[in-house]
């Protein structure tokens, strides 16, 4: 048995697992060797959830860099519309047009393509696959006490469908007509008529193909996560003993399973409109002075189908971050999470409500104002479970013996961001106020702070915290703190001013503002935002260097449970092999948050209850 | 590997793979729920061509219902050890499934014949697209049935846990796509 040979040191964890654990005869079958015998099956077409998690993470980082660089290019355009961009020509080629005086300008079509790709990449590839894909894969089997996912094979397929989606999207960047340029929401008619803009042809075809593969990936992953959480929990791991991370991943997977298929339906109708002449979304359209023979379609129908996914999708992004933050805050403030059950119920409430608020993205699309009222009410009700969570995070920190390290700082930063961005959500949720704010920079500020930055903070908290579990080494703390402060200040500097732009009516997705009388006054503010974005990007480079340096050169982990955490993943060997635990599966005796109980700093979940001890919640 | 999984997680009441299939069916159902809600939303917007659904879609419902019954009796025969009924009913299910596809195709041709082409009006387009996507799911089921047929005719009739599981997965899926058609037909009948 190869796995036990790696770990000769016997620790208290081993003894507890040996005494109380559950013997599933896993290592008697040697099937681990069957599918992890050479380099390819171990690192590339791996079926081990821990490797798949790293694949999702590193692919996500790749996309985050691409997406962020795109944003820098269009920020340069917005901040410095008169500046010479000829130096970008080696990278962007013909999308930088050079006039007789040698002035290089960004082609307007490509500006739209960049904005569209930035949104698509960040929302789907980075904050869905890179976040939920990474941590659901890493933590679900480890924290519920399972050998692996319910179907390791489908799990592997999930990653490779994501990879395929990425390859297609990446190739579309190099089309001579450019990638899709109609916004990440792909509203018709720009998405439905190949002749509508240069990116609407081949670019859109590849965009839609890529996203369909992406949905397949999400569904394969989600089916696995749900099945694993419900069926493969180890002995003693009742639902009420699950760490909040698992609750969050579980509800996230359910949201994905119920909403992404709806997007596929919407896309399918779109494909018929594009290629086979149907008119689901198209009606009475003139293009280039010519009337098309599409009649009877409704572009609003697409918006309904899109946002029925789109809104749950924003919670698919934020819930995993919330789960990670809850865990990190509790561990590093050495206190039980405040209001565990309330946390679970708010996750469930947010999950449920997220399905009945989608039309708040359509207040200005001509939906019946009477119907809007219902959506206003449900939207504002979401603020209640969100506020419960914020209250509980702060109460968890309150009076705690907080360890201020990179992980916990990012978790605290998450709470700050979520409050700032959640408050502006309440403005937008009122359909009357939205008349002024819709499609302005106020919306851009809102969703970047509450979703973009907050989810990144949750992800960073997770990476700094679980890096030792992934690679057996620590990331550098000093660089981590520098990264945190740079990102916190930088992100606020980028997005805070956008609220003012939005309130003044500056519309989003415009190529330049200096030519508008009303918006020209904001050129200094736009320059400030662009510079802040560049600086913030530079701070992300610190993270990237720290990450890769630490994989090979970071401080080695010498004990299994460096943070003194209660959850099961820290009872595995420092380098867990296939099947995660070398011998029996650990049995769970208590919930995950016994910190500071009965004078003990922490009590791992595998420790049996003492005589007369009662469960804490 | 299946047997190993089963032993490893023997404490579970429902086999993880079966559970995963149910979850997947939930996802597929959402896809069709989206289609049917789309019909409602789109119909409310006006410019909606009224026509009568060709009868063939109703005959076809009988075919698919029969196929569910035959597959279920094949499954029961498989468990009882009645080899000839097991094989015969399985083959019959396959034939009925293939007949369903053929008849759907006839149905689309009927629609074209009465002037409802794919692009005539969204009301007709929906029928083509939705029944087409449903037919694709039936084709997937036929794939699973072909595998089951290979097993039935090539392997000796033995009720091992792995084979029972595989049969049950096929059976669940087939009943599901059958139910799905009833759901769609209900909508078509109500709205057209
Ligand atoms: C944690 C969570 C949240 C996330 C991830 C999130 C995300 C988003 C995103 C991505 C958009 C922009 C869509 C677009 O136009 O392209 C948006 C807009 C909006 N958000 Fe949020 N949001 C969150 C919280 C909230 C809350 C708490 C509310 C209300 C109480 C809210 C209300 C709105 C509304 C009404 C819009 C539409 C604004 C418009 O387009 O005019 N959001 N949100
Ligand atoms: Cu929303």
DSSP 8-state class, residue A475: P
Q: Find the CB nearest A25 among B7, B30, B37.
A: B7
pLDDT for residue A375 is more than 60: yes
Q: Do A276 and B119 touch (CB under 8 A)?
A: yes
Element (H, E) at A601: strand A600-602
The pLDDT value recorded for residue A33 is 47
Closest CA to A63 of A130, A112, A6: A130
pTM assigned to the model: 0.93
CB A157 within 8 A of CB A137: no
Is the bond into A541 cis (omega within 30 degrees of 0)? no
Overall fold of domain B2-191 = 1.20.120
pLDDT for residue A30 is more than 70: no
DSSP 8-state class, residue A452: I
**CA A166/CA A155 separation, integer angstroms:** 17
CA A447 to ligand 1 centroid distance, Å: 6
ipTM summary value: 0.91
Q: What is the pLDDT of residues A398-453, one digit of tens each?
A: 999 999 999 999 999 999 999 999 999 999 999 999 999 999 999 999 999 999 99
Report which ligand 1 atom has the smallest distance to the Cα of A434.
41
Q: What is the mean pLDDT of chain B?
A: 91
CA B27 to ligand 2 centroid distance, Å: 21
Element (H, E) at A286: strand A286-287
Closest CA to A233 of A585, A591, A594: A585
pLDDT for residue A592 is more than 50: yes
CB A591 within 8 A of CB A602: no
Closest CA to A161 of A68, A52, A77: A52
| Pocket-testing residue among A420, A443, A505, ligand 1, by greatest number of atoms within 8 A of Cβ | A443
pLDDT band at residue B30, thresholds of 50, 70 and 90?
very high
Mind giving me the DSSP string for A483-515?
HHHHHHHHHHHHHHHHHHHHHTTPBTT-S-STT
Contacts of B17 in chain A (CB under 8 A): 150-151
pLDDT for residue A381 is more than 70: yes
Within 13 Å of residue A500, how many CA atoms lie on the same side as its CB? 13
Q: What is the pLDDT of residues A73-82, one digit of tens each?
A: 999 999 999 9
**CA A134/CA A44 separation, integer angstroms:** 16
**CA A78/CA A72 separation, integer angstroms:** 10
Closest CA to B69 of B187, B175, B179, B176: B175
Q: Do A269 and B38 touch (CB under 8 A)?
A: yes
pLDDT for residue B47 is more than 90: no
**CATH class name, domain A2-282+292-602:** mainly alpha
CB A438 within 8 A of CB A405: no
Q: Do A261 and B23 touch (CB under 8 A)?
A: no
Q: What is the mean pLDDT of chain A?
A: 93
Q: Where are the domains of chain B?
A: 2-191
pLDDT for residue A563 is more than 90: yes
Among all chains, which residue has been given the structure tokens 């779109």?
A270
CB B89 within 8 A of CB B73: yes
Helix axes B16-44, B122-154, angle to 10 degrees: 160
CB A136 within 8 A of CB A225: yes
Q: Find the CB nearest B31 among A264, A279, A301.
A: A264
**CA A607/CA A591 separation, integer angstroms:** 10
CB B161 within 8 A of CB B6: yes
CA A178 to ligand 2 centroid distance, Å: 29
Q: Do A231 and B8 touch (CB under 8 A)?
A: no
A268 touches chain B (CB under 8 A): yes
The pLDDT value recorded for residue A31 is 53
Distance between terminal CA atoms of chain A?
A: 40
> What average pLDDT does range A66-73 have in this prediction?
97
The burial class, CB within 10 Å (0-12 / 13-18 / 19+), for B26 is middle
pLDDT for residue A465 is more than 90: yes
CB A233 within 8 A of CB A586: no
List, chain by chain if needed, residues with CB within 6 Å of any ligand 1 atom: A 185, 314, 317-318, 360-361, 379-380, 382-383, 386, 422, 425-426, 428-429, 434, 437-438, 443, 446-447, 450-451
Least confident of A10-14, A235-239, B132-136: A10-14
The phi, psi pair for A311, rounded to 5°, reads: -70, -50
Report which ligand 1 atom has the smallest distance to the Cα of A184.
16
The pLDDT value recorded for residue A599 is 86
pLDDT for residue B5 is more than 50: no
User: Which of B108, B129, B133 is the best residue to mutate to test the A interface, defined by the most A CB atoms within 10 Å of its own CB?
Assistant: B129
| Gap from A272 CA to chain B (nearest CA, Å) | 8
pLDDT for residue A603 is more than 50: yes
User: Closest residue (by CA) to atom 16 of ligand 1?
Assistant: A185
pLDDT exceeding 70 applies to what percent of chain A? 97
pLDDT band at residue A8, thresholds of 50, 70 and 90?
low
pLDDT band at residue B44, thresholds of 50, 70 and 90?
confident
């Amino acid at each position: 048995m190869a796995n036990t040979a790696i770990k000769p040191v016997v620790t208290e964890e081993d003894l507890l697992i040996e005494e109380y654990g559950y013997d599933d005869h896993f290592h008697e079958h040697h099937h681990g060797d069957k599918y992890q015998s050479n380099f390819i099956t171990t690192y590339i077409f791996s079926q081990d959830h821990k490797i798949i998690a790293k694949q999702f993470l590193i692919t996500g980082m790749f996309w985050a860099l691409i997406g962020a660089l795109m944003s820098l290019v269009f920020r340069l355009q917005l901040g410095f519309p008169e500046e010479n961009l000829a130096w970008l020509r080696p990278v962007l080629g013909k999308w930088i047009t050079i006039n007789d005086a040698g002035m290089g300008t960004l082609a307007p079509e490509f500006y739209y393509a960049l904005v569209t790709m930035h949104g698509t990449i960040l929302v789907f590839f980075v904050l869905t696959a890179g976040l939920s894909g990474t941590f659901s894969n890493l933590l679900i089997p480890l924290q519920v006490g399972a050998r692996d996912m319910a179907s390791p094979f489908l799990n592997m397929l999930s990653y490779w469908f994501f990879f395929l989606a990425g390859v297609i999207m990446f190739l579309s960047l190099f089309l001579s007509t450019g990638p899709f340029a109609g916004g990440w929401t792909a509203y018709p008619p720009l998405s439905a008529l190949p002749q509508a803009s240069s990116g609407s042809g081949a670019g859109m075809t590849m965009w839609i193909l890529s996203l369909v593969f992406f949905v397949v990936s999400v569904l394969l992953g989600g089916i696995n996560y749900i099945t694993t959480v419900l069926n493969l929990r180890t002995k003693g791991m009742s639902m009420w003993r699950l760490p909040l991370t698992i609750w969050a991943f579980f509800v996230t997977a359910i949201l994905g399973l119920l909403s992404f298929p709806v997007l596929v339906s919407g896309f399918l109708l779109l494909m018929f409109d594009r290629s086979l002449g149907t008119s689901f979304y198209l009606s009475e359209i003139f293009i280039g002075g010519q009337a098309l023979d599409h009649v009877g379609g409704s572009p609003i129908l697409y918006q309904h189908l899109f946002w029925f996914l789109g809104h749950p999708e924003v919670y698919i992004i934020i819930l995993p971050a919330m789960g990670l933050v809850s865990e990190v805050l509790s561990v590093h403030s050495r206190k039980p999470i405040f209001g565990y059950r309330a946390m679970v119920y708010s996750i469930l409430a947010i999950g449920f409500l997220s399905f009945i608020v989608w039309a708040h993205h359509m207040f200005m699309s001509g939906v019946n104002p009477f119907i809007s009222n219902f959506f206003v009410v449900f939207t504002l009700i979401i603020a209640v479970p969100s506020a419960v969570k914020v209250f509980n995070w702060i109460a968890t920190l309150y009076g705690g013996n907080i360890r201020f390290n990179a992980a916990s700082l990012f978790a605290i930063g998450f709470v700050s961001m979520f409050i700032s961005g959640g408050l502006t959500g309440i403005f937008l949720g009122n359909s009357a106020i939205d008349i002024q704010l819709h499609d302005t920079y106020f919306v851009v500020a809102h969703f970047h702070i509450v979703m973009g930055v907050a989810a990144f903070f949750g992800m960073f908290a997770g990476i700094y915290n679980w890096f030792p579990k992934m690679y057996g080494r620590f990331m550098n703390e000093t660089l981590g703190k520098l990264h945190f402060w740079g990102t916190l200040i930088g992100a606020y500097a980028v997005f805070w001013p956008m609220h003012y732009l939005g309130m003044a009516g500056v519309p989003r997705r415009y190529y330049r503002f200096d030519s508008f009388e009303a918006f020209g006054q904001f050129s200094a503010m736009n320059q400030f935002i662009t510079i802040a974005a560049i600086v913030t990007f530079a701070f992300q480079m610190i993270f990237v260097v720290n990450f890769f340096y630490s994989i090979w050169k970071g401080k080695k982990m010498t004990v299994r449970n460096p943070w003194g955490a209660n959850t099961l993943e820290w009872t595995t060997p420092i380098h867990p092999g296939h099947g995660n635990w070398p011998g029996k599966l650990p049995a769970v005796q208590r919930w995950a948050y016994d910190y500071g109980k009965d004078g003990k700093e922490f009590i791992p979940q595998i420790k049996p209850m003492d005589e007369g001890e009662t469960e804490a919640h | 590997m299946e047997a190993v999984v089963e032993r490893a997680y023997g404490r579970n009441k429902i086999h993880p793979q079966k559970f995963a299939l149910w979850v997947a069916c939930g996802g597929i159902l959402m896809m069709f729920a989206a289609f049917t809600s789309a019909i409602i939303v789109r119909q409310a917007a006006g410019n909606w061509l009224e026509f009568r659904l060709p009868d063939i879609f109703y005959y076809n419902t009988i075919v698919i219902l029969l196929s569910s019954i035959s597959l279920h009796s094949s499954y029961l025969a498989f468990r009882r050890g009645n080899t000839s009924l097991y094989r015969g009913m399985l083959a019959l299910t396959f034939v009925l499934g293939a007949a369903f596809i053929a008849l759907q195709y006839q149905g689309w041709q009927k629609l074209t014949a009465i002037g409802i082409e794919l692009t005539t009006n969204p009301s007709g387009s929906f029928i083509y697209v939705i029944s087409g996507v449903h037919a694709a799911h039936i084709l997937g089921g036929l794939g699973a049935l072909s595998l089951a047929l290979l097993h039935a005719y090539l392997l000796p009739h033995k009720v091992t846990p792995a084979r029972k599981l595989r049969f049950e997965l096929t059976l669940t899926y087939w009943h599901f796509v059958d139910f799905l058609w009833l759901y769609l037909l209900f909508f078509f009948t109500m709205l057209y």
